[in-house]
């Protein structure tokens, strides 16, 4: 090999390594959870009505009937992106609720421990459903006519909302945890 070719390859490899390092730093800083804030302060409430509208199959059917194929696929992709954002927030909120509920699992008060165990179970189920729904949404973004799996996430989130409020009232009646903006 000649020297200019070797130098060019070395520069490309070095540039790639630098790019990977910069991206890892940016992503890791963006995903860090604030240790200063309490877990309850890390919850981002979701507008359940808006989420329900996005997940409603009859809304999709209405749009399919009233829009041209090209326009429907465009609108559907925008709705899928919005739904993906809601599901990501729901998954993060479930992770925070697991952390909150773990403190209640060791409670000497049986109703609190039971509510905490129920909340952990529901939050874990929601996280699993959210991961599955995100995969289905990614597929639907490629094939906009594919079916969705957001309804189990929506129903699970509504159930999780009630369980989170029950546990927070048992642990701290003065400041209940709210994971829904409107319910």
Kindly give the residue spans of alpha helices, DSSP state H, lying in the chain: 3-31, 48-55, 57-66, 69-105, 110-142, 151-171
User: 50 is written with which tokens?
Assistant: 């808006």
Give the Cβ contact number of residue 170 at 10 Å. Answer: 18
User: 41 is written with which tokens?
Assistant: 């302060």
* CA-based R_g, the chain, Å: 22
Q: How many CA atoms lie within 13 A of 143 on its CB side?
A: 7
Q: How many residues does the chain have?
A: 183
**Nearest alpha-carbon partner for 120 in 150, 95, 89:** 95
pLDDT band at residue 103 using 50, 70 and 90 as cut-offs: confident
**Nearest alpha-carbon partner for 90 in 59, 60, 132:** 132
24-80: per-residue pLDDT in tens?
A: 665 444 434 455 567 767 788 888 888 888 888 888 889 889 988 889 888 888 988
Which pLDDT score is estimated for 101?
Answer: 85
Residues 164 and 162: their CA atoms lie apart, in Å, by 5
Is pLDDT at 181 greater than 70 in this prediction? Answer: no
Which pLDDT score is estimated for 33?
Answer: 47
At a CB cut-off of 8 Å and minimum separation 6, what does 84 contact? 134, 137, 138
Which pLDDT score is estimated for 32?
Answer: 44
Percent of the chain with pLDDT over 70: 77
Q: What is the mean pLDDT of the chain?
A: 78
At a CB cut-off of 8 Å and minimum separation 6, what does 67 contact? 75
22-36: per-residue pLDDT in tens?
A: 766 654 444 344 555
| Ranges assigned E (strand) in 44-138 | 46-47
Task: Name the phi and psi angles at 46, rounded to 5.
Answer: -110, 140
Structure pTM?
0.69
Is pLDDT at 122 greater than 80 in this prediction? Answer: yes
């Amino acid at each position: 090999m000649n020297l200019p070719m070797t130098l060019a390859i070395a520069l490309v490899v070095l540039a790639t390594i630098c790019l990977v390092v910069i991206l890892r730093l940016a992503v890791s800083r963006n995903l860090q959870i604030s240790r200063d804030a309490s877990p309850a302060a890390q919850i981002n409430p979701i507008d359940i009505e808006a989420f329900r509208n996005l997940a409603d199959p009859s809304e999709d059917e209405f749009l399919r009937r009233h829009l041209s194929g090209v326009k429907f696929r465009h609108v559907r992709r925008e709705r899928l992106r919005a739904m993906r954002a809601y599901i990501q927030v729901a998954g993060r909120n479930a992770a925070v609720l697991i952390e909150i509920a773990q403190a209640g699992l060791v409670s000497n008060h049986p109703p609190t421990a039971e509510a905490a165990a129920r909340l952990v179970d529901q939050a874990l189920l929601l996280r699993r459903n959210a991961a599955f729904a995100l995969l289905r949404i990614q597929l639907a973004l490629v094939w906009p006519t594919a079916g969705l799996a957001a309804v189990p996430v929506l129903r699970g989130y509504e159930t999780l909302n009630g369980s989170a409020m029950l546990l927070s009232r048992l642990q701290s009646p003065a400041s209940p945890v709210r994971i829904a903006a409107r319910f």
